[in-house]
Amino acid sequence: MVTLACVAPDVDGLGIVPELLTRNSAHPLNWFSLYHHRLHTLAFSLIVAALALVLAKQKWKVGWLALLSFHIHLFEDMLGSRGPDGYQWPIPYLSPVSSGVQLSWHGQWGLNAWPNVVITIVLLLLTFWLAWWRGFSPLEIISVKADSAFVAALRHRFPGSQQA
């Protein structure tokens, strides 16, 4: 739930599918251009955290961690998600109550810039190592069977003394 809370803000980016599919039509749906970052808000973070709190067994722990992970997403967007056209996708943090706060950072790097590539490689390696070490990975969210096969493949390829 904490992991899902971290990606939840980008639900507002799903409009990219109809936008790409209709971009050459007579009536293009610009849902990504219009709505991306509309859910990158304090209000939506509270809804997501409240949902996590209600659904989790360890209610307050998961609720607070969901709130934190949601905000880590916003922080990362501010750091390195500048569009190829230079647009910064400012975060309307207090929307819909106020549009006065638009969070952005002048030093923001591009979404496809080298820091994101390096961070992605480091985090993937860390994720693989943790899966190898602990015996489970984020794949577990989708399929326990696929997760077991992934961990088994890792441990077969890199035999050693892991945790379990």
Q: How many CB atoms lie within 10 A of CB 82?
A: 21
Among 46-54, 56-64, 77-85, 128-136, the segment contacting Zn ion (CB under 5 A): 77-85
Token code pair at residue 96: 């819909």
Among 8-16, 20-28, 57-65, 106-114, the segment contacting Zn ion (CB under 5 A): 8-16
Break the chain down into helix, strand, coil percent, rounded to 5. 60, 0, 35
Smaller CB separation from Zn ion, 9 or 63: 9
- Terminal Cα-to-Cα distance of the chain (whole angstroms): 24
Site string for Zn ion, 15-54 (x = CB under 5 A): ----------------------------------------
In the three-class reduction of DSSP (H, G, I as helix; E, B as strand; rest coil), residue 18 is classed as helix
Q: 74 near 9, Cβ under 8 Å?
A: yes
Among 4-12, 52-60, 99-107, 148-156, the segment contacting Zn ion (CB under 5 A): 4-12
92 lies in the site for Zn ion, by CB under 5 A: no
10 lies in the site for Zn ion, by CB under 5 A: yes
Q: 71 near 8, Cβ under 8 Å?
A: no
The one among 5, 41, 53, 77 contacting Zn ion by CB under 5 A: 77
140 lies in the site for Zn ion, by CB under 5 A: no
Nearest distance, CB of residue 82 and Zn ion, angstroms: 12
12 lies in the site for Zn ion, by CB under 5 A: no
What is each CA distance from 154 to 7, 51, 122, 157, in whole angstroms?
26, 34, 17, 5
Among 6-14, 25-33, 48-56, 122-130, the segment contacting Zn ion (CB under 5 A): 6-14
Tokens 């599918």 sit on residue: 17
Contacts with Zn ion by CB under 5 A lie at 9-10, 77
